[in-house]
Structures are given as C-alpha cells and as structure tokens.
Amino acid sequence: AQSVTQLDSQVPVFEEAPVELRCNYSSSVSVYLFWYVQYPNQGLQLLLKYLSGSTLVKGINGFEAEFNKSQTSFHLRKPSVHISDTAEYFCAVSDPAGYSTLTFGKGTMLLVSP
Amino acid sequence: GAGVSQTPSNKVTEKGKYVELRCDPISGHTALYWYRQSLGQGPEFLIYFQGTGAADDSGLPNDRFFAVRPEGSVSTLKIQRTERGDSAVYLCASSLGLGSPLHFGNGTRLTVT
C-alpha cells in the first residue's frame, strides 16, 4: 500500500518570497511522483511529475521538485511566488504499472499575500 | 480542444434518493477514472475504466456505487440510496491509457441533505 503525507495544511507567504511545500511518501515498491494544483472551482492540473532519471524535475509556472529516495520525499519549490499561485497543491504517488490509481495527499493551501 | 466535461456542476439531493453524475472525457482518451474529494481531503480513487470495462473498481466504497461506460466514451457514476456521507466533489479524469498523464474535469459537487 502507498501513502502520501503533506504535513502543512496551509502555507502563508508574501509575494516574491520563496516557498517549499513538503511531501513525503511511503511505498514498498518504486513509485512515480506527481504534484497537482487546484485553483478555486477548477479541476486538478498537473504541475510536474517524476518517473525516472534526473531527480530534479521542472514543471509549469516556475515550479520544481526534487525526488529524494533516501528521505522518501518529493518537495515542491518555487524561488519567487506570485499572487496568482494561491491555490491548493496536492502531492500524489502511483506505482510504475501505470497511473491508474493515484494516491493523493490531503493537500497544502498556498496563500500568497501582497 | 475541449477538456473533460462533468455535469451537473452542482447537485443537491435528499437522503435516500438516486443520483447520476456524468463525465465526458477528452476525445480519443481510452482510460477514464472517477475520484471522490471530501472536504479537507485529497482525491480518493473510486474506479478506472479501460475502454468499456472497469479495469479496477477497488475504490468503490460499497454496492450503492456503480459506474458504467457502455460505449467506451461517456461514463456515468450512479449512487443509490444516497447518504449524507456521500456529500463530496466527484472528479472525473481521462487519459490516453496507462503511462499517460490524467486530465481532470472540474468536478460535480454533490450535497445530500
């Protein structure tokens, strides 16, 4: 069984400041890792994914994440946030057999203020 | 091109009633998924279709929940004898198949009173 832990339910930050959203996972097998963003009243949008290869992956909107196998983490970072980045962010994991059963964390609400 | 479309966007029903939620996937996407997102939680997997057949329905909570995809395109999630605990946002996603990223719809917010 797989599980995802997002320790921070809410992260307040000022505009243009850097941000890190934490994600840890648990799995007995190798995994694929994802970050999704959900803007108010919208569906989930894929930010970035790690399947294999380089542990540093870059996504849309200036976000990046680093896979750390020894710490079973996949933290999301952005060097300078904008007001428009205010949204809920979900970390997810699946097994390499496919994307069929994504297991999501509870989400982290990023609140960017001026 | 159109994304994944879910109707209705909001549904309010009384406890004990039957509801149907519809999902129109992206054209050409053979895989279709249903997830449920309760307040303050991440989405939880319900069922996955590959073509017309349910390849994995292990996430359906009980036999009151059923989903179909008779022609391999549109899917309907059916909930019988609704309970207040069924209140949630029901998300549909589609993809080109295993190994391809999921594209999510905006969801149907179901409220059972």
- How far CA A64 is from CA of A80, A112, B30, in Å, comes to 12, 18, 30
CA distance B38 to chain A (A): 10
CB A21 within 8 A of CB A108: yes
pLDDT at B1 over 60: no
B contacts of A107 (beta carbons < 8 Å): 41-42
In three-state secondary structure terms, B14 is coil
For residues B88 and B98, give the distance between their C-alpha atoms in angstroms, rounded to a whole number: 27
CB A107 within 8 A of CB A90: yes
In three-state secondary structure terms, B85 is helix
A-B C-beta contacts closer than 8 Å? 59
CA distance A7 to chain B (A): 13
Does A41 touch chain B if contact means CB atoms closer than 8 Å?
yes
CA proximity to A101, closest of A39, A32, A48: A32
Burial B81-103 (b: 16+ CB within 10 A, else e): ebeeebbbbbbbbbbeeeeeebb
CA distance A96 to chain B (A): 8
Report pLDDT for A42: 84
Local confidence pLDDT in tens for the 114 residues of chain A:
789 999 999 999 999 999 999 999 998 788 899 999 999 878 899 999 998 889 999 999 999 999 999 999 999 999 999 999 999 999 999 877 655 678 999 999 999 999
- Identify residue A56 by its one-letter amino acid code: L
B contacts of A44 (beta carbons < 8 Å): 43, 91, 93, 102, 104
Q: Do B56 and A46 touch (CB under 8 A)?
A: no
CA proximity to A66, closest of A96, A88, A91, A30: A91
Does A113 touch chain B if contact means CB atoms closer than 8 Å?
no
Does A98 touch chain B if contact means CB atoms closer than 8 Å?
yes
- Identify residue A61 by its one-letter amino acid code: N
- How far CA B74 is from CA of A33, A45, B23, B28, in Å, comes to 28, 21, 6, 11
- Look up residue B3 and give its two tokens: 């994304």
* pLDDT tens digit sequence for B23-74: 999 999 999 999 999 988 999 999 999 999 988 899 999 999 999 999 999 9
- Identify residue B2 by its one-letter amino acid code: A
CA distance B72 to chain A (A): 16
